[in-house]
Structure 1
């Protein structure tokens, strides 16, 4: 890359301001900054948040026909291990002829801050949302349904199989259909988050694939997978940049990086949605 030179047009010292990118993955994730062992192998922990139980009638057990009592309690579970994504690194590379290229590290770090949420969403799609064998509340292989029905199915399924509010993930192009169906509301505590009417956070990710299970396989027009997870947490390192200079071609290069790992607790479910014919 050669150093840009003036073209005769009026030179302005800075680019116009950006409106902030909102309502993506970072709006629903609890992010913790800092280095740690997670950078080598990711995150895992034991969780009770998908625990199952049951109920029995009455207070005192009574003899049951065939032996035992009416208070046999057959639903049980042991420790459940939740595993997050493997670590991944988001990067931005700045490279140019050394003449007039005064701060490659600063440029790389600035650009990293601009693109890291989108790139984190792409990795999150592959490493978490698109992993095989989610729960299918409407049945595996079920035909695509409208957005209202899909949302209701996922929130009902989460109530039965997860102890808290789910987090919903949808590609960003679906936003007009959520609003047309009046399915979302702002979070009163933060203007950067959208919630369902049952207060489940919704991420509308620009880096999310319509088909996270096979991003290269096209879905029918107007279709996408709506995925629900448990609470989203992210670990991330401090951003850093390294710079090199190549004497053979007089080039300066800086690479800015930041390492991430996400986890979503023990719950993940998916419904195929169509927006054709309304939500």
Structure 2
């Protein structure tokens, strides 16, 4: 921990922060409280990705050999949706014990400042990036990268065909100016705490989102990222707490603040590779 520099004017407090907005928490319904989810996460049955079909006419005629002339072949059973594993976000405060009066308070304050960003890192890699057999790639699993407008249109259309509600979209924060420049979003002054597409789908611009959530350590071409869509996002969050220790060998006080989370995003996940620098139309 740093010490004040002699000769400089001492100011009692840091300047105020402008609140972090339009990230993951802006599109997430978060429930606070302890529960069994803290051990294994959540799971539930959902009908939100149900499929069906249509037939012409109203009264089917009997078919030879039994049944009817209306062959209704699309079916589905109970669909189990599984959320993420629980994960814990932490912040640590440590300094020489002399004059370090409230390490627990400092650790809890720092936890509150960084937890949305760290939640975004986890969500991007372990929910958006958790590729499986049900993942949808409307324009191809490996690209080519397309324009923002084409990617957004493809995801909105795919969700309309495969999810019963509006999708929730996820993009790295640097993509926002490009989407606003192309007028792909409603003006933020009209949409409150959540940015919305022109079709009223919520979109999160996460400072912790990876350009490539499927391989966060692998860089993509400059100006390229995966625009992702999920079902409705929910979060479970435990109470924040802090524990303190004191090391006698170097007279150090340390506090560790933690809070456990788990997220679920219903039954739908899809992604399209985007380039803001000359992607295909």
TM range (shorter): over 0.9
TM-score, normalised on structure 1? Answer: 0.95
1:155 aligns with 2:156: yes
Match of 1:94 in 2: 93
Match of 2:106 in 1: 107
Match of 1:14 in 2: 13
- Check conservation: 1:186, 1:193, Cα contact below 8 A: no
CA distance in 1, matches of 2:209, 2:6: 38
Match of 1:170 in 2: 171
Match of 2:255 in 1: 254
The offset of 1:66, in angstroms, is 8.5
- Check conservation: 1:135, 1:268, Cα contact below 8 A: yes
CA distance in 2, matches of 1:62, 1:141: 47
Match of 1:23 in 2: 22
CA distance in 2, matches of 1:211, 1:141: 12
CA distance in 1, matches of 2:75, 2:109: 51
Deviations 1:163-194 (A, max 9, x none): 00000000001111011011112577862210
CA distance in 2, matches of 1:186, 1:68: 54
CA distance in 2, matches of 1:165, 1:186: 18
TM-score, normalised on structure 2? Answer: 0.95
Change in 2 beyond 3 A, CA 1:149/1:240: same
Unmatched tracts of structure 1, length 5 or more: none
- Alignment size in residue pairs: 278
Match of 2:277 in 1: 276
Structure 1 stretch 162-171 or stretch 215-224: which is displaced more?
215-224
- Check conservation: 1:122, 1:207, Cα contact below 8 A: yes
**Runs of 4 or more off by more than 2 Å in structure 1?**
62-70, 139-142, 186-191
CA distance in 2, matches of 1:7, 1:132: 55
CA distance in 2, matches of 1:73, 1:188: 47
CA distance in 1, matches of 2:275, 2:5: 49
Query: Secondary structure of 2:61's partner?
Result: coil
Match of 1:116 in 2: 115
1:238 aligns with 2:239: yes
CA distance in 1, matches of 2:65, 2:181: 58
The offset of 1:59, in angstroms, is 0.8
Deviations 1:199-239 (A, max 9, x none): 00000000000000001111111110000000000000111
Correspondence list, 1:72-91, <5 A: 72-91=71-90
Structure 1 stretch 7-16 or stretch 180-189: which is displaced more?
180-189
CA distance in 1, matches of 2:156, 2:227: 11
CA-atom RMSD, angstroms? 1.7
Query: Secondary structure of 1:17's partner?
Result: coil
The offset of 1:140, in angstroms, is 2.2
The offset of 1:5, in angstroms, is 3.4
